[in-house]
Amino acid sequence: MASEQVLLLAGSYAAADQPGIYLFALTSATGELTPLGACAGVTNPSFLALHPGGDLVLATSETGAGDGNPGGVTSLRLDRASHSLTILGWQRSGGDWPCHVTLDPRGTWAIVANYGGGSVGLLPLTAEGVLGPLRDVAQHEGRSVDPERQQHPHPHASTVSADGRFVIASDLGIDQLRIYTLDTPHGGLTPHTHTLARRGAGPRHLCWHPNGRVLYVANELDNTIAVYGYDPGKGTLVERQIISTLLVKTGANQVADLHLDKQASRLYVSNRGDNSIAIFTVERDGSLQLATVKPCGGNWPRNFTLSPDGNFLIVANQYSSELVVLPVREDDEALGEPLARAKVPQVACVIVA
């Protein structure tokens, strides 16, 4: 019997006339990576999001108006039979250097974090996969304590509550989690409340516990994970725990991405600089214990994902320009040595499609 093949998409930093989104097949039995092709036409597709329907992909264009190329979002049709992507359209994201995009649970609204512009943009998405013009832009203001990274607002990611009522945006520049009410019928982001992160933390990426009442936040600047309790009725967050992603700090490091396994028993976090993956055990109440820290198999693990069966962790190592497949182990080692590698110039993101 042929081994199951899992489709992976990898985004990168690339000019529009160069391949920027790469397609791979991951063999579930072995962890082998097989190149399936690449798509050009999108400038710096550094972050990708799969539509809930499974046949559309959104890609940020991490660019700025100062370079004559305002930040934007592109929608693409995914053809699984031919392993190809077709560009459907592009729209401005509402600010410079968009670095993250996500969708509401119904897949009708795209929420974009504009790192350089200090804003969060909201765009409609039709059933045919066509992006409409910006419907709303939430502009952040303020600064925090880091003299190099926190003199301006820098939204880095967002997530939508399971019921679709609230958008939570992490702002690295002002050490805040901004919470907005999402007007699903008409399209709008209305300020609801905000939660202060620890000063100098630099909140970056976010990850929900499947119970919908715990939110994990990767803090880029102080190398920690913050655990927040979430009240679905009130749309509010309360900090419960802050824990380091490093066993021993030996040099400069920046936390990047985080993902829970499907059992919600382990939380994985990538460390750039230390070039490692921190593995936390998740307690019944959602709190964390750092179990171990393992090498990521490359340089600068900006992003990663887990295979659907949970047997492999696929790392996008930006500075070594490659995807690396690590086997997930059930013992205390947690992760094994690399099983496969695939070159992707300046890779920045990898998702299961």
- Give the CATH number for residue 13: 2.130.10.10
**166 is a domain residue:** yes
Q: State pLDDT tens for residues 74-131.
A: 999 999 999 999 999 999 999 999 999 999 999 999 999 999 999 999 999 999 999 9
Domain that residue 146 falls in: 5-270
Q: State pLDDT tens for residues 175-225.
A: 999 999 999 999 999 999 999 999 999 999 999 999 999 999 999 999 999
Other CB atoms within 10 A of residue 50 CB: 18
- Confidence tier at 65 by pLDDT (50, 70, 90): confident
**323 is a domain residue:** no
What would the 3-class secondary structure string for the chain be?
A: CCCCEEEEEEEECCCCCCCCEEEEEEECCCCCEEEEEEECCCCCCCCEEECCCCCEEEEEECCCHHHCCCCEEEEEEEECCCCEEEEEEEEECCCCCEEEEEECCCCCEEEEEECCCCEEEEEEECCCCCECCCCEEEECCCCCCCCCCCCCCCEEEEEECCCCCEEEEEECCCCEEEEEEECCCCCCEEEEEEEECCCCCCEEEEEECCCCCEEEEEECCCCEEEEEEEECCCCEEEEEEEEECCCCCCCCCEEEEEEECCCCCEEEEEEECCCEEEEEEECCCCCEEEEEEEECCCCCEEEEEECCCCCEEEEEECCCCEEEEEEECCCCCCECCCCEEEECCCEEEEEEC
What percent of the chain lies above the pLDDT cut of 90? Answer: 97
In the block, residue with structure tokens 């003299």: 147
Mean pLDDT of the chain: 98
- Confidence tier at 142 by pLDDT (50, 70, 90): very high
Residue 33 has pLDDT above 50, yes or no: yes
**46 is a domain residue:** yes
Residue 27 has pLDDT above 70, yes or no: yes
**295 is a domain residue:** no
**294 is a domain residue:** no
Q: State pLDDT tens for residues 264-297.
A: 999 999 999 999 999 999 999 999 999 999 999 9
**327 is a domain residue:** no
**126 is a domain residue:** yes
Residue 1 has pLDDT above 50, yes or no: no
**289 is a domain residue:** no
Structural domain count of the chain: 1
